[in-house]
Structure 1
Amino acid sequence: MSASAQARRLQGMGAYLHALDARLMDNVPPRWAIGLPSAVRELAWFGIKEARACLFAGLFFAAVFAMPRAGLFGIPRYDLLLVYALVVQLWMLRAQLETRDEFRAICLFHAVGFCLEVFKTAMGSWSYPDAAYTKLFGVPLFSGFMYASVGSYIIQAWRLFDLRIRHHPPYWMAVAAALAIYLNFFTHHWLGDYRWYIAALVLGLYARTSVLFRPLDHVRKMPLLLAFVLIGFFLWLAENISTFYGIWSYPNQMGAWSRVHWGKWSSWSLLVIMTFTIVAGLKHVKASIHVPPE
């Protein structure tokens, strides 16, 4: 396929996704679902919206799982994954599936995640076993996109589900908690692991916070803390699959694969809170967040 044909195909995919987004957000039950019970219809539409919100994450991890460990055409798989992730991300920007502000936030997620990866691999928490030309300090550059995919999901879900946040804590408190979460990933190697103290702080901050979302034609409500925990669980599942395919490995997985420790679920949930805080700083997102007066 020529470059011009590929460009037209990508442009057509972008137009299709814009049409799909408009259909998903018009909150009118589709014709095929009219005869279904209301709960089933809403659950189906919820699943479609979730799948659409996972566009970047889905495309990225599909490549992670499909890419041969030996790479292709003599190019290591880590390098191919970097090129693939860049192409997908630039396509989403060019197709206006992400705004420039959102793209800058995605870049921030990548940088924050990559710095964490460099430190953790240096400390021996995990390692990337395969060779690559695009490794820096022992970490392949594509790894930051795993963190960026979480941010992309939250950004897309916010729009598709018309999210509204009620009783959000003051921004300075949320930012302080996010910084404490991030710093603890580093300092626990010397000062001790304070994640449960930070979790208790977060529990107090977000105890009254709820998220309003619209799967189809009804607005639903759930505690924001529950959303953090659920997203963290699915990230923990994705981590298990990734380590099974040897993308990276923990020390106890060197000889043979074993399940990632349950404690990583809490780490991912805390990381989701940090990511959420960054997304909440976007201009068009702040309008949907209610912060009670102090």
Structure 2
Amino acid sequence: MLATLDLHLLNGAARPGLRGAARFVAEFWYFGIKEARACLFVALFFAAVFLVPRAGLFGLPRYDVLLVAALAIQAWMVWTGLETGDELKAVSLFHVVGFALEVFKTSGAIQSWSYPDFAWTKLWGVPLFSGFMYAAVGSYIIQAWRLFDLRVRHHPPHWMAALIAILIYANFFTHHYIGDYRWYLAACALGLYARTTVVFRPLDRERQMPLLLAFVLIGLFIWLAENISTFWGVWRYPNQVGAWATVHVSKWSSWSLLVIMTFTIVANLKHIKARIHVPEH
């Protein structure tokens, strides 16, 4: 059924009969379906987060069950061809990068947030499943690239994009010691990607939007998912220990910057890089 759905979604045959409001509704409908389909890993993973009771299952603690679920989802996606070997390498890199950030942020010296429950698969106080929350963002971008037949115009030189991505990642660590430079980095990213547009096909015609807007929107949805996850007690910020509170809106900017870093890694996949236009001047 999933293969049949994908074939249907990837069918870009012209539909000349669609005009006006009917075309808007149809394209909006298909845009929503493709977005939901691109979120397959995210949806399955967060379904596990919400469905697994805090006490765990079958004698396994909750965090361990979530790790098994995430590994099973990832293996299924590769086995069915939903992700290629190269894409799996990129997703694995997201996992490692995210896990390293989690270890730092939850360390005794920083304590930005914590994972309060016991697990056998905790390293340095961080459950191994946590890296999949970052990998899920990469999986979404990879799936969306295929389903929307994405192309990028006026992308900055890849070395510049890589440099700003590295600095963004480094700032998540260094701002605890030498100040937070996220807004300076955001300004640099704004300059780099100011002319960059992403071309996508929701139905049969190409549409486009500023790539920066896509970064901000994806960051917003991650922030919303983070609020849901903390409400369910998967992890907690210090101000949520006594009673749950909304995750501070400043985290939206952090997630948007992290999306830029994730996009940069995806953009270096061979089959995706071929669809990115970098102007010579």
TM-score by length of 1: 0.92
Per the TM alignment, residue 73 of structure 1 is displaced from its structure 2 partner at its CA by 2.1
Per the TM alignment, residue 67 of structure 1 is displaced from its structure 2 partner at its CA by 1.0
The equivalent residue for 2:220 is 233
Q: Whole-Å Cα distance in 2 between the matches of residues 87 and 68 of structure 1?
A: 18
1:58 aligns with 2:43: yes
Q: Whole-Å Cα distance in 1 between the matches of residues 247 and 4 of structure 2?
A: 39
SS for the counterpart of 2:106 is: helix
Q: Whole-Å Cα distance in 2 between the matches of residues 99 and 213 of structure 1?
A: 21
Q: Whole-Å Cα distance in 2 between the matches of residues 290 and 96 of structure 1?
A: 27
SS for the counterpart of 1:211 is: strand
**Structure 1 residue identity aligned to 2:234:** I
Give the aligned length: 277
**Structure 1 residue identity aligned to 2:239:** N
CA deviation vs aligned residue, 1:63-111 (integer Å, no higher than 9, x gap): 1011101111221010000001001100110111100000010100000
The equivalent residue for 2:200 is 213
**Structure 1 residue identity aligned to 2:72:** V
Q: 1:173 aligns with which of 124, 135, 160?
A: 160
CA deviation vs aligned residue, 1:134-164 (integer Å, no higher than 9, x gap): 0000000000000000000000000000001
Residues 24 and 49 in structure 1, CA contact (< 8 A), matched pair in contact too: yes
Structure 1: which 5+ runs fail to align? 1-15
1:255 aligns with 2:257: no
Q: Whole-Å Cα distance in 2 between the matches of residues 210 and 28 of structure 1?
A: 24
Q: 2:95 aligns with which of 94, 97, 110?
A: 110
Q: Whole-Å Cα distance in 2 between the matches of residues 21 and 192 of structure 1?
A: 46
Q: Whole-Å Cα distance in 2 between the matches of residues 41 and 195 of structure 1?
A: 39
Runs of 4+ with >2 A deviation = 27-30
Q: Whole-Å Cα distance in 1 between the matches of residues 253 and 12 of structure 2?
A: 34
Q: Whole-Å Cα distance in 2 between the matches of residues 77 and 28 of structure 1?
A: 46
Structure 2: which 5+ runs fail to align? none
SS for the counterpart of 2:220 is: helix
Per the TM alignment, residue 28 of structure 1 is displaced from its structure 2 partner at its CA by 4.2
Alignment of 1:155-166 (within 5 A): 155-166=142-153
1:201 aligns with 2:188: yes
Q: Whole-Å Cα distance in 1 between the matches of residues 98 and 45 of structure 2?
A: 16
Residues 71 and 77 in structure 1, CA contact (< 8 A), matched pair in contact too: yes
**Structure 1 residue identity aligned to 2:61:** P
Residues 53 and 160 in structure 1, CA contact (< 8 A), matched pair in contact too: yes
1:131 aligns with 2:118: yes
**Structure 2 residue identity aligned to 1:288:** R
The equivalent residue for 1:11 is none
TM-score by length of 2: 0.96
Per the TM alignment, residue 19 of structure 1 is displaced from its structure 2 partner at its CA by 2.0
Q: Whole-Å Cα distance in 2 between the matches of residues 27 and 130 of structure 1?
A: 48
1:68 aligns with 2:49: no
- The root-mean-square deviation of aligned C-alpha atoms, in Å, is 1.5
**Structure 1 residue identity aligned to 2:125:** G
1:143 aligns with 2:130: yes
1:39 aligns with 2:24: yes
Q: Among the aligned pairs, what percent are the same residue?
A: 70
